[in-house]
């Protein structure tokens, strides 16, 4: 039930009749980003800032938007995003803004622009529709230092060079360090290397976010590693795209959360983000953490314990694009090979492609999680929502993650209340990232806002149609400027660079 009332702020009513706003959104159910129920009222915007919240019936505005029957939330903050890919040619960020995302945090999975200062300057010179913050990527820095000779531990001198590069990024405003420890070259790094880099962050107020070293076979050890980093480096740490991605881990969400709760009781600021799907997207090589690509027993294990031949869908298999959209089971049948032999053969062909053309894409979408675990991890008090999505690719999260939260996990399954879901997409995300003045509808905060219909909002993106737009997202504002409405993107680019030092 919606609660009717007013949100009162100091001096609001003394001044509202004298003030003119650039935009007023009226008669709307305001979900302020907390876990409180909605309050009916109006929101006034001046320039890039929320100026007033309450009864603005006597105020005037250049633009008045009637929010009757709709909900207004803070703009959604995507704490783990790859939507920066392609923004230079498509700065309207359609995939993001069409699902209500107003801020994306990039430099994820250990991959970032190096040095980050050039990237930030490019965004300042050529703004886009959304706000962007970035981590400094461990894999990117490691690649700069070790080059092609990365299948080994780094020397002390090499770690020192990485530290110098990380410090430079932190001084330019990176949020912290990201790692992708299932990917090359980070998979070859020692725990000591990652810890040494993480210890750089505390004086800067930085954070560590990690695609764990394992989300399946070695999950418990990987979980211990990030907890140890949080303890030894004395910094906030965040688990990227939280999941239990192997059959033997299914049903162990409670055990996982107990470990994290104990860590928090011990003073370790550990949090997580999660996308609302049971399937992931990555390179096919990530299925082999020991890089034993010719081991048929390992392939058998993968297709029995990690995923299935029917659960692997080819997203962008560069050696043979005809496989895109097909499952491993379908390709195996077509090639008259067992699924395990086909998996090994596909990586061999990918290696051949690499030798001929450089690094070739072998992207897949794979089902590895159980819905019950996704919900349990999602409900954890310190888990915020992300997309891990991009504007291209076959995983529907790029266009649908946040709308799916509102449709499937709120309206349909009732796993969360609407205010809980909004909190996990806004204020909690800002808190887990160290962002200020965003993620809450409150005077003095930046006017990042999403107006939507709670009864109609829905994700329409699927594996077969991954770029289908969500429905029920009515209007989206970034820093007070409307960037999306029923007609599509507005081709306005008010997004700001979110440097850590200016947050």
> Per residue of the chain (503 residues), what is the pLDDT tens digit?
333 333 344 334 434 446 899 999 999 999 999 999 999 999 999 999 999 999 999 999 999 999 999 999 999 999 999 999 999 999 999 999 999 999 999 999 999 999 999 999 999 999 999 999 999 999 999 999 999 999 999 999 999 999 999 999 999 999 999 999 999 999 999 999 999 999 999 999 999 999 999 999 999 999 999 999 999 999 999 999 999 999 999 999 999 999 999 999 999 999 999 999 999 999 999 999 999 999 999 999 999 999 999 999 999 999 999 999 999 999 999 999 999 999 999 999 999 999 898 889 999 999 999 999 999 999 999 999 999 999 999 999 999 999 999 999 999 999 999 999 999 999 999 999 999 999 999 999 999 999 999 999 999 999 999 999 999 999 999 999 999 999 999 999 999 999 996 44
Q: In 3D, which of 97, 73, 62 has the Cα closest to residue 83? A: 97
Q: Angle CA(472)–CA(484)–CA(24) in degrees, nearest 5?
A: 90
Neighbouring C-beta atoms of residue 295, cutoff 10 Å: 15
CA-to-CA separations, 41 to 67, 68, 485, in angstroms, rounded: 9, 10, 21
pTM of the full structure: 0.94
Q: Which residues have a Cβ under 8 Å from the Cβ of 399 and sit 6 or more positions away?
A: 95, 98, 99, 389, 391, 459, 461, 466, 467, 468, 469, 470
pLDDT digits (tens, 9 = 90+) for 31-63: 999 999 999 999 999 999 999 999 999 999 999
Write down the pLDDT at residue 424: 98
Model pLDDT for residues 350-375, shown as the tens digit of each residue: 999 998 988 899 999 999 999 999 99
Q: Which pLDDT does position 126 carry in this prediction?
A: 96
Q: How far is CA 91 from CA 115, 131, 281, 322, in A?
A: 21, 11, 24, 30
Residue 8: what pLDDT? Answer: 40
Q: What is the pLDDT of residue 359?
A: 87
What residues have CB less than 8 Å from 501, skipping those under 6 apart? 173
Residue 459 pLDDT:
98
- How high is the pLDDT of residue 33? 97
| CA pair distance 241, 139, nearest whole angstrom | 18
Instruction: Name the 3-class secondary structure at 302.
Output: helix
CA distance linking residue 384 with residue 435, whole number of Å: 14
- List, for residues 446-495, the tens digit of each pLDDT value: 999 999 999 999 999 999 999 999 999 999 999 999 999 999 999 999 99
Task: Report the pLDDT value the prediction gives residue 78, as an integer from 0 to 100.
Answer: 98
Site of tokens 């997580």 = 272
The pairing of beta strand 76-78 with beta strand 101-106: parallel
pLDDT value for 501: 66
- The pLDDT, as a whole number, for residue 493 is 98
Q: What is the per-residue pLDDT for 18?
A: 62
Domains of the chain (ranges, CATH numbers): 76-280+368-437 (3.20.20.140), 285-362 (no CATH)
């Amino acid at each position: 039930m919606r609660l009717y009332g007013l949100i009162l702020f100091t001096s609001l009513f003394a001044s509202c009749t004298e003030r003119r706003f650039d935009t007023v959104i009226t008669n709307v159910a305001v979900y302020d980003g907390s876990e409180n129920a909605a309050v009916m009222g109006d929101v006034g915007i001046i320039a890039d800032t929320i100026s007033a919240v309450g009864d603005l019936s006597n105020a005037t505005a250049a633009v008045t938007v009637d929010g009757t029957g709709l909900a207004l939330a803070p703009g959604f903050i995507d704490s783990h995003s790859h939507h920066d890919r392609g923004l230079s040619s498509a700065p309207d960020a359609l995939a993001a803004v069409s699902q209500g995302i107003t801020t994306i945090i990039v430099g994820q999975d250990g991959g970032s622009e190096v040095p980050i200062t050039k990237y930030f300057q490019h965004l300042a010179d050529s703004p886009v529709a959304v706000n962007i913050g970035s981590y400094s990527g461990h894999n990117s820095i490691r690649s700069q230092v070790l080059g092609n000779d990365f299948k080994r531990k780094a020397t002390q001198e090499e770690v020192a060079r990485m530290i110098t590069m990380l410090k430079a990024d932190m001084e330019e405003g990176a949020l912290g360090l990201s790692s992708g420890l299932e990917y090359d070259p980070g998979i070859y790094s020692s725990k000591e290397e990652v810890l040494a880099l993480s210890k750089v962050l505390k004086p800067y107020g930085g954070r560590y976010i990690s695609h764990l070293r394992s989300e399946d076979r070695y999950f418990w050890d990987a979980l211990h590693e990030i907890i140890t980093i949080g303890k030894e480096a004395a910094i906030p740490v965040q688990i990227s795209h939280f999941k239990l991605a192997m059959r033997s881990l299914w049903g162990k969400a409670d055990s996982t959360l107990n470990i994290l709760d104990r860590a928090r009781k011990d003073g370790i600021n550990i949090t997580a983000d999660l996308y609302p799907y049971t399937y992931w997207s990555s390179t096919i090589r990530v299925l082999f953490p020991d890089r034993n690509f010719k081991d048929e027993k390992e392939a058998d294990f993968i297709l029995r314990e990690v995923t299935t031949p029917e659960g692997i869908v080819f997203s962008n298999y560069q050696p043979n694009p005809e496989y895109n959209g097909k499952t491993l089971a379908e390709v195996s049948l077509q090639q008259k090979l067992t699924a395990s032999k086909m998996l090994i053969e596909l990586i061999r062909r990918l290696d051949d492609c690499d030798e001929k053309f450089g690094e070739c894409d072998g992207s897949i979408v794979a089902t590895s999680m159980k819905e019950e675990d996704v919900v349990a991890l999602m409900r954890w008090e310190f888990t915020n929502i992300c997309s891990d999505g991009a504007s291209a690719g076959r995983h529907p999260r790029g266009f649908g993650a946040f709308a799916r939260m509102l449709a499937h996990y709120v309206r349909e399954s009732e796993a969360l209340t609407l205010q809980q879901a909004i909190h996990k997409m806004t204020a909690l995300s800002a808190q887990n990232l160290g962002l200020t003045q965003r993620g809450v509808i409150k005077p003095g905060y930046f006017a990042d806002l999403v107006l939507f219909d709670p009864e109609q909002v829905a994700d329409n993106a699927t594996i077969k149609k991954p770029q289908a737009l969500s429905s029920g997202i009515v209007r989206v504002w970034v820093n007070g400027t409307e960037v999306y409405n029923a007609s599509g993107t507005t081709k306005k680019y008010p997004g700001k660079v979110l440097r850590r030092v200016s947050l």
